[in-house]
């Protein structure tokens, strides 16, 4: 039987606890100044990073990574971004990096003229990116609506959309792109939760994607020590912070986490799994907490004691590792990259339904619960399919064996 007191002493003395404690004890300058959840602060930081002329010294790199983020968000969250304007030719030149950025104008708090109450109608970030493709030079406008601790009011997003469609309608411009950035996952926005975007023409994305696809990749290219310190401080600001008093309707303290923090938390969990599970179980029965809080503890305790297998996998010896869902998606992508002309019938032979009790793949039109499937894929014969994302210890090995049959070797890390 576990001795709780001994386990607590071990927790305090563990390297994982000491590192995590040091990480969280250092407050960011944003926290010290009391602006960690002020929307204008996050807009100003993003505008600084995306401006090629700013002091970070990484030029257009962050801006190009941001354009890639928009493509990824459009494709990854297709169920809530399917109506968004982002045509294939935009996607192709962005993904292939087949363009140059000659200049970029980045402004915050841009007053939108010509609509009522324009004192409160201010675009959070307006980008005008001058793009060169061969002999063609055109400007791509991007309107970013940033929501951190407030909700949309007075149909802001629709008003900005209507204005931009008129403002940038001549031949010197690409058709504008619209972005809705918030800490909420895009699929949560689709289900009606969080900070909703009333206009369906905005690409919904979140701060975790911003960190993963833009901020951290740009970090190593920042030349000045001051710039690197600012970015490090900002990443800490996005993470845990005691800011519940300034979050309005939204009580969450975490907007996104960095790779460093996730690794520290992973080590901490693995080192103290038994103790943390016991704590969650005890708190779920503690009447000092509300019913909602006890239910949260109860759900967390059930998940923590479910004996889940957290194995990681890599494909063909590549450095990046995946969980079970991720490795299935990576194998499907690798297979389709090598078999671009495959038909649905051929795909069903390659990955038969017997690999999964609910069927490995289905036509998109036949799916009643999209949350249980990866984003739809259009095959060479025009059929749109989706593959199950429900994978665990009971079915992953058979799938890995099938991948091996197609020359796609998966290794457990």
Tokens of 217: 């990749």
Instruction: Give SS3 for 150.
Output: coil
Q: What is the pLDDT of residue 344?
A: 92
Q: What is the pLDDT of residue 259?
A: 86
Tokens of 233: 């401080």
Is the pLDDT assigned to residue 194 strictly greater than 50?
Answer: yes
Q: Which of 29-33, 69-73, 166-170 has the lowest average pLDDT?
A: 29-33
Residues 338-368: tens digit of each pLDDT: 999 999 999 999 999 888 877 899 998 888 7
pTM for the model stands at 0.68
Q: What is the pLDDT of residue 191?
A: 46
| Residue closest to 387 by CA, chosen among 364, 357, 410, 354 | 364
> For the residues 8-26, what does the mean pLDDT come to?
83
Q: What is the pLDDT of residue 361?
A: 92
| Residue closest to 230 by CA, chosen among 13, 30, 6, 8 | 30
Q: For 222-292, where are the E strands, in sequence order?
A: none
> For the residues 371-392, what does the mean pLDDT come to?
88
> For the residues 257-261, what does the mean pLDDT come to?
87
Rg (CA), the chain: 24
Q: Exposure of 396 by Cβ count < 10 A (0-12 exposed, 13-18 middle, 19+ buried)?
A: buried
Percent of the chain with pLDDT over 90: 42
Q: What is the pLDDT of residue 116?
A: 55
pLDDT, the chain, mean:
85
> For the residues 382-401, what does the mean pLDDT come to?
87
Q: What is the pLDDT of residue 261?
A: 87
Domain ranges of the chain: 29-237, 313-412
Q: Exposure of 380 by Cβ count < 10 A (0-12 exposed, 13-18 middle, 19+ buried)?
A: middle
Q: What is the pLDDT of residue 246?
A: 46
Q: Pick the residue with more confidence: 93 or 152?
A: 93
Q: What is the pLDDT of residue 242?
A: 55
pLDDT-derived band at 275 (thresholds 50, 70, 90) equals: confident
Instruction: Give SS3 for 206.
Output: strand
DSSP 178-213: EEEEESS-HHHHHTT-SS--S-TTSEEEEHHHHIII
Tokens of 349: 């032979």
Residues 399 and 353: beta-carbon distance below 8 Å? no
pLDDT-derived band at 245 (thresholds 50, 70, 90) equals: very low
Is the pLDDT assigned to residue 214 strictly greater than 60?
Answer: yes
């Amino acid at each position: 039987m576990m001795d709780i007191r001994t386990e607590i002493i071990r927790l305090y003395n563990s390297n994982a606890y000491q590192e995590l404690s040091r990480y969280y004890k250092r407050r960011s300058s944003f926290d010290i100044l009391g602006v960690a959840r002020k929307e204008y602060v996050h807009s100003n930081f993003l505008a600084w990073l995306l401006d090629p002329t700013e002091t970070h010294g990484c030029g257009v790199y962050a801006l190009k990574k941001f354009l890639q983020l928009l493509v990824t968000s459009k494709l990854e969250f297709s169920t809530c971004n399917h109506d968004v304007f982002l045509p294939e030719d935009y996607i192709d030149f962005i993904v292939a990096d087949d363009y140059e950025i000659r200049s970029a104008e980045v402004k915050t708090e841009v007053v939108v003229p010509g609509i009522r109450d324009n004192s409160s109608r201010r675009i959070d970030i307006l980008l005008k990116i001058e793009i060169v493709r061969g002999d063609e030079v055109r400007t791509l406008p991007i309107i970013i609506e940033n929501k951190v601790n407030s909700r949309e009011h007075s149909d802001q997003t629709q008003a900005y959309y209507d204005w931009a469609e008129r403002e940038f309608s001549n031949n010197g411009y690409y058709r504008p792109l619209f972005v809705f950035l918030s800490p909420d996952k895009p699929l949560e926005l689709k289900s009606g939760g969080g900070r909703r975007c009333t206009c369906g023409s905005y690409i919904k994305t979140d701060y975790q994607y911003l960190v993963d696809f833009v901020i951290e990749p740009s970090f190593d290219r920042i030349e000045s020590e001051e710039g690197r310190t600012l970015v490090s401080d900002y990443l800490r600001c996005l993470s845990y912070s005691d800011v519940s008093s300034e979050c309005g309707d939204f009580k969450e303290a975490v907007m996104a986490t960095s790779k460093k923090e996730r690794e520290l938390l992973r080590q901490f969990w693995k080192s103290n799994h038994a103790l943390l599970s016991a704590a969650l179980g005890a708190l779920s029965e503690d009447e000092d907490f509300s019913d909602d809080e006890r239910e949260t503890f109860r759900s967390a305790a059930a998940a923590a004691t479910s004996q889940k297998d957290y194995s990681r996998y890599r494909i063909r010896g590549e450095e990046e590792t995946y969980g079970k869902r991720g490795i299935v998606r990576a194998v499907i992508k690798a297979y389709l990259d090598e078999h671009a002309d495959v038909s649905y019938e051929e795909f069903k032979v390659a990955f038969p339904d017997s690999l999964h009790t609910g069927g490995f793949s289905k036509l998109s039109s036949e799916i009643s619960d999209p949350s249980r499937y990866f984003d739809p894929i259009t095959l060479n014969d025009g059929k749109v399919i989706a593959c199950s994302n429900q994978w665990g210890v009971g079915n992953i090995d058979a799938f890995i064996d099938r991948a091996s049959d197609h020359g796609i070797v998966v290794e457990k890390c």
